[in-house]
Chain A
Amino acid sequence: MGDAGAEADFDTAFNLTGMIGNARMNKCVSAADAVSVIESGMTIGIGGWGPRRKPMALVRELLRSDVRDLTVVAYGGADVGLLCAAGKVRKVVYAFVSLDFMPLEPGFRKARETGSVDVREIDEGMMLLGLRAAAWGSPYIPTRIGLGTDVITRNPDLQLVDSPYDDKEWVAMPALNLDVSLLHATRGDARGVCEIASPDHYMDDWFARAANKTVVSVDELVPSDYFHNADVARRVYWERNLTSHIVHIPGGAHPSSSDPLYGYDMKHYKEYAAALAEGGYDGWSEAYLGDSESSYQRNVGGLEAIQTLPLPVY
């Protein structure tokens, strides 16, 4: 694969530990190189929740690529909305797509109302079970969730099964096997150790475990001894061997939040909705996307403005 060479270059170019002998892995790559692991037709998972701690810079890099036909699994926000608006999505696996303070996500809403994407609409908890099944190598996990609702009737491939232990029917929530997951963490080191310092890591650990490859954007790149502190080490929710690539992008979650570093950008979300309403995806991308993350950040007011966005209070 194209990125394997890049990894090898990094391995020889850097030896962050100063160890003699084989250099430790260095997983730091550019956003473009990281996202190049995603090919058309793949199933990708995106971490975070609604408007919170979404790997938006990685999503923007995907928007700049020619990848399409994706199946996207997410607790969705503008990540799903933008990918749908850009025509990159064949199917969305979701329980909701929402920006919380703006309940209806404009890009996703238009895609749904024009029937331009296939959907697998499932319960929030079912998604968690599907990720866990994938992580554990189980074909499915039995659950009551969905019984009696249109989750069953609208997903004809979702099977009901008998239990060997009782006479009830059970929903067999299938494994949500992911080719690639995109996540955003507060801090990470070059070996792929990631800290989520936010109050909640959501289901990001399960997205990492359910995927063949996981790309993590981090606000801060730190030396490995940063994690020696036990309190910090407790905020590491998956092991480094699950992290394929680290991309250092300060402000990379914008316009979503990266608590405790910065809040979500309510003003930009409104501008995003207005741009989509006026000029569609092209209108938004011409005004904001740019050809790189630094030009995007200039278009939305600069990194310093992002990093001083107030934290949300619920």
Chain B
Amino acid sequence: MTFSLAELMVCAASRSFENEGEVLATGIGLLPRLAASLAMRTSNPDMMMTDSQSFMLATPNPVSGMASHSGQANENWMGFARIFDNVWSGARHALVGPSQIDRFGQTNIAALGGSYEAPKVQLLGVRGFPGNSISHANSFFVPKHSTRVFVTGECDVVCSIGYNPDRLPRGYTFDDIDIRRVITDLCVMDFNGPNKQMRVVSLHPGVPLSEVLENTGFEVAVAPNMTETPAPSAEQLALITELDPLNVRSKQLKDNPPGVRNPN
């Protein structure tokens, strides 16, 4: 059975939400949203999810091909102000795609290079990252694993709290910060290495460990039981097709690579 790298990443990312129960899952971006939707349809039917607008859904909307929001399976109104009530309660797990991630698990979506007063590239702004990172679980989705994302120094703008002892607020420990998984186009990682070091948990089929290490700007640990990222099941692929009928997922990664790397 053939599958794309995007589908492999979606399945790997959906595993982040397993066994979480009644937690609001928020996937920002098409593939992360597809991952959360897949989890709600498979490993975590009790998950909570919104329509990316203002209603909580009993079952996820498709990420493509929807003509209107009318007729969707609403559960309750969930405007943006109310989202924060949920965020601050801690009952949420966000899967987001930062522009930079550093060795502490700190991330950046605000600006790159230059000075803070006049950055070389202005991005979005810190958005909800500061509040998310100190309130609830977060996982990261990286479409292109490179040293541009996994930077050698600290992020240019630290938008989310990570496992950085120098920035730990008074009265806090690393147990108050909950970074779960990092899903890239090469591998799956977590922050359960020594002293919360980032470590490789599984390599995608055909990816050598050296490629991960070369494309990461800081040292990463390797899990003793590192495996190969499991291929999507037929059931998962069928659900992905149902959730993304227009196959927009095929346009998310450059050239839509296959899920199994050609040995060369």
* Chain B residue at minimal CB-CB distance from A144: B134
Give A267 to B206 CA distance when docked, in angstroms: 43
Taken residue by residue from 213 to 234, chain A's Cβ proximity to chain B (1 for < 8 Å, 0 otherwise) reads as 0000000000000000000000
Q: With A104-B124, A150-B159 known to touch, is A125 a contact of B87 (CB < 8 Å)?
A: yes
Interface set, chain A 143-186, CB cutoff 8 A to B: 143-151, 153-154, 166-169
Asked if B53 and A149 sit within 8 Å, CB to CB, the answer is no
Q: With A126-B131, A169-B170 known to touch, is A95 a contact of B111 (CB < 8 Å)?
A: no
Q: Does A239 contact B (CB under 8 A)?
A: no
Q: Which of A114, A122, A154 makes the CB contact (< 8 A) with B118? A: A114
* Chain B residue at minimal CB-CB distance from A201: B79
Q: With A126-B130, A149-B129 known to touch, is A202 a contact of B79 (CB < 8 Å)?
A: yes
Interface set, chain B 120-178, CB cutoff 8 A to A: 120-131, 133-135, 157-162, 164, 167-172, 177
Q: With A147-B161, A200-B79 known to touch, is A121 a contact of B84 (CB < 8 Å)?
A: no
Q: Which of A49, A98, A125 makes the CB contact (< 8 A) with B84? A: A125
Asked if A203 and B80 sit within 8 Å, CB to CB, the answer is yes
Q: Give the number of chain B interface residues (Cβ < 8 Å).
A: 53
Q: Distance (Å) between the CB of B117 and the closest chain A CB?
A: 5
Asked if A202 and B130 sit within 8 Å, CB to CB, the answer is no
Asked if A113 and B128 sit within 8 Å, CB to CB, the answer is no
Q: Which of B110, B121, B127, B161 makes the CB contact (< 8 A) with A148? A: B161
Q: With A124-B131, A150-B157 known to touch, is A167 a contact of B114 (CB < 8 Å)?
A: no
Interface set, chain A 184-206, CB cutoff 8 A to B: 199-203, 206
Asked if B168 and A166 sit within 8 Å, CB to CB, the answer is no
Q: Which of A49, A113, A167 makes the CB contact (< 8 A) with B80? A: A49
Q: Which of A96, A144, A149 makes the CB contact (< 8 A) with B125? A: A96
- Hey, which chain A residues are within 8 Å of B21, CB to CB? none
Asked if B135 and A144 sit within 8 Å, CB to CB, the answer is yes
Q: Distance (Å) between the CB of A311 and the closest chain B CB?
A: 7
- Hey, which chain A residues are within 8 Å of B125, CB to CB? 94-98, 121
Q: Which of B53, B115, B170 makes the CB contact (< 8 A) with A167? A: B170
Q: Does A268 contact B (CB under 8 A)?
A: no
Q: Which of A103, A149, A200, A203 makes the CB contact (< 8 A) with B126? A: A149
Taken residue by residue from 282 to 310, chain A's Cβ proximity to chain B (1 for < 8 Å, 0 otherwise) reads as 00000000000000000000000000000
Asked if B128 and A125 sit within 8 Å, CB to CB, the answer is yes
Size class of the contact patch on chain A: 35 or more
- Hey, which chain A residues are within 8 Å of B120, CB to CB? 113
Q: Which of A49, A103, A124, A147 makes the CB contact (< 8 A) with B172? A: A147
Asked if A108 and B169 sit within 8 Å, CB to CB, the answer is no
Q: Does A242 contact B (CB under 8 A)?
A: no
Give A96 to B79 CA distance when docked, in angstroms: 18
From B61-69, B193-201, B224-232, the one touching the partner chain is B61-69
Asked if B128 and A112 sit within 8 Å, CB to CB, the answer is no
Give A240 to B88 CA distance when docked, in angstroms: 31
Q: Does B54 contact A (CB under 8 A)?
A: yes
- Hey, which chain B residues are within 8 Å of A150, CB to CB? 110, 116, 126, 157-159
Asked if A122 and B171 sit within 8 Å, CB to CB, the answer is no
Taken residue by residue from 45 to 59, chain B's Cβ proximity to chain A (1 for < 8 Å, 0 otherwise) reads as 000000111110000
Asked if B118 and A151 sit within 8 Å, CB to CB, the answer is no
Asked if B134 and A113 sit within 8 Å, CB to CB, the answer is no
Q: Does B208 contact A (CB under 8 A)?
A: no
- Hey, which chain B residues are within 8 Å of A96, CB to CB? 124-127
Q: Does B258 contact A (CB under 8 A)?
A: no
Q: Distance (Å) between the CB of B139 and the closest chain A CB?
A: 18
Q: Does A123 contact B (CB under 8 A)?
A: yes
Q: Does B81 contact A (CB under 8 A)?
A: yes
Asked if A203 and B167 sit within 8 Å, CB to CB, the answer is no
Q: Does A20 contact B (CB under 8 A)?
A: no
- Hey, which chain A residues are within 8 Å of B129, CB to CB? 123, 149
Sampled A-B contacts (26; CB under 8 Å): A96-B127, A97-B124, A108-B122, A122-B130, A123-B128, A123-B129, A124-B131, A125-B131, A126-B130, A126-B131, A145-B130, A145-B135, A146-B130, A146-B131, A148-B167, A148-B169, A149-B129, A150-B110, A150-B126, A151-B130, A151-B159, A166-B171, A167-B171, A200-B79, A314-B51, A314-B69
Besides A128-B81, A169-B169, 11 other A-B contacts (C-beta < 8 A):
A95-B128, A121-B125, A125-B131, A148-B158, A148-B162, A148-B164, A148-B172, A149-B161, A151-B126, A200-B54, A201-B79
**Which residues in A have some Cβ–Cβ distance to B below 8 Å?**
49, 94-98, 103-104, 108-109, 112-115, 121-126, 128, 143-151, 153-154, 166-169, 199-203, 206, 311, 313-314
